[in-house]
């Protein structure tokens, strides 16, 4: 399922500039940060730091590893990206400009499938209310095996028999 973009009043770059300027100790917005934000938000896909660095290298963009790590952390703090921990791997997902959504992660091929379901949101609201808890957000990752990997596994089993 492909998630539809949500209308936003600012570009990710504008929102990040505003975030940096509003910090207790305002920070400047660098050309490398701008290059990185534009690259990350040019298309919606999940990525880890190594994938991002490889992608930047392939496109000829010159952003240092240290800048990538620092900027990713700030983009999470700014609410532009969501950090998802999957075992020992940290994956980033767009949090700005996309609706709240969950993930199915295939343990075999590592594919991530995004989905939304109103019953999940309703259940979380009900649970939070029952505990007088004010939820600011959530992240749900369901681990398992995708349809393609299940089909491959079944085909291999048939060959062995």
pLDDT tens-digit readout, 1-57: 567 778 889 999 999 999 999 999 999 999 999 999 999 999 888 999 999 999 999
- Cα–Cα distance list, 20 to 35, 53, 71, 78, 108 (Å): 16, 23, 11, 8, 39
Which value, in Å, is the radius of gyration of the alpha carbons in the chain?
19
- pLDDT (0 to 100) of residue 136: 84
Check pLDDT > 90 for residue 93.
Answer: yes
Q: Band the pLDDT of 100: cuts 50, 70, 90.
A: confident
Helices (H), the chain: 12-21, 31-40, 49-58, 65-77, 118-130, 147-160
Choice between 92 and 97, residue whose per-residue pLDDT is larger: 92
Check pLDDT > 90 for residue 82.
Answer: yes
Tell whether residue 109 is among the known ligand binding residues.
yes
Domains by residue range for the chain, with CATH: 8-98 (1.10.10.10), 99-161 (3.30.1490.190)
- pLDDT (0 to 100) of residue 97: 87
Q: How far apart are CA 72 and CA 66, in angstroms?
A: 10
- pLDDT (0 to 100) of residue 161: 63
Task: Report the candidate in 92, 114, 78 with the shortest Cα–Cα distance to residue 5.
Answer: 114
Tell whether residue 149 is among the known ligand binding residues.
yes
- pLDDT (0 to 100) of residue 13: 96
Q: How far apart are CA 61 and CA 59, in angstroms?
A: 6
Question: Which 8-state DSSP code applies to residue 151?
Answer: H
pTM: 0.83
Among the ranges given (59-63, 116-120, 132-136, 143-147), the one the predictor scored with the smallest mean pLDDT? 59-63
Indicate the SS3 state at residue 92.
strand
pLDDT tens-digit readout, 105-136: 999 998 999 999 999 999 999 999 999 999 98
Tell whether residue 106 is among the known ligand binding residues.
yes
Indicate the SS3 state at residue 7.
coil
């Amino acid at each position: 399922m492909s998630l539809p973009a949500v209308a936003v009043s600012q570009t990710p770059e504008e929102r990040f500039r505003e975030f940096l300027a509003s910090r207790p100790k305002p920070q400047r917005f660098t050309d490398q940060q701008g290059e990185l934000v534009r690259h990350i938000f040019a298309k919606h896909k999940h990525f880890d730091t190594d994938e991002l660095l490889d992608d930047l290298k392939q496109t000829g963009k010159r952003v240092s590893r240290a800048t990538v790590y620092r900027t990713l952390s700030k983009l999470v703090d700014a609410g532009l990206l969501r950090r998802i921990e999957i075992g020992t791997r940290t994956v980033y997902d767009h949090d700005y400009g996309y609706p709240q959504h969950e993930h199915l992660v295939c343990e075999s091929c590592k594919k991530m499938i995004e989905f939304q379901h109103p019953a999940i949101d309703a259940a979380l609201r009900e649970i939070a209310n029952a505990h007088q808890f004010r939820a600011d957000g959530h992240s749900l990752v369901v681990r398992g095996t995708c349809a393609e990997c299940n089909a491959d596994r079944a085909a291999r089993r048939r060959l062995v028999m």
